[in-house]
Amino acid sequence: MEILQSEIDELEEEALSKNKYSDNELLEIFPEAIPCLKRKLGFLKMEVKAREFEVLKLLSRIYSRTLQNSFAQWFYLEVVKVLRCEDIDDSKKEISKLKFLLFPPKEIKGKITPTEIQRAKDRDFHDLLEFNRQGFAFCPFHQEKTKSFHLYKNKCKCFGCGKSVDTIQFIMETKGLTFPEAVMELSK
């Protein structure tokens, strides 16, 4: 049994008008709804353009009729903004949501999150280098006979060469890694 295109369109309109499901839920339940959502997107764009044109017409009428009275001009402008532009803003938000849903941004491979960066910074230096009880170790950045690389609040400073690093900088410089590579290494 074949379903006619008009019946499909009617069902789509009914589903959209009832607004039983959000667009996201509709797409999860019924992936074939993409063409329907694209039509909705096109309709919303046309609706916004029509409303913007209507607002421009109203504004031009206000300017032409109330040039003498600046208060009346201001008042009518505010009324138009409040009554008409809120609808336009709502429609533009809906358009943005639909665009994001239909055309999601591509994921960037190798992108690191702030959580991963914080996890890398919080990594215990004792996992990376051996310190004595006083918190000193041999500095990996220069040759020395006495331990002068001091650990304090998960940061290290060498009193011999003056180098000061956190865990990410330490891994970057000792292993020759880039920032993202060091973060990924530490957040494992």
User: Where do the structural domains in the chain lie, given as residue ranges?
Assistant: 5-102, 114-186
> What's domain 114-186's superfamily in CATH?
Zinc finger, CHC2-typedomain (3.90.580.10)
For the chain, strand residue ranges (E) read 136-137, 149-152, 155-158, 164-165
pLDDT on residue 154: 79
pLDDT on residue 65: 65
* DSSP symbol at 22: -
* Interatomic CA distance for residues 24 and 98, integer angstroms: 9
Exposure string for 30-57, b = 16+ CB within 10 A, e = fewer:
eeebeebbeebbeebeeebeebeeebee
Residues near 152 by beta carbon (within 8 Å), at least 6 away in sequence? 135
Lowest mean pLDDT among 58-72, 86-100, 123-137: 58-72
* 94 bridge partner residues: none
Q: Higher model confidence: residue 96 or residue 148? A: 148
- Average pLDDT over every residue of 81-109: 69
- 3-class DSSP assignment, residue 51: helix
pLDDT on residue 1: 40
pLDDT band for 124, please (50, 70, 90 cuts): confident
**Percent above pLDDT 90 for the chain:** 1
Q: Higher model confidence: residue 148 or residue 27? A: 148
pTM over 0.95: no
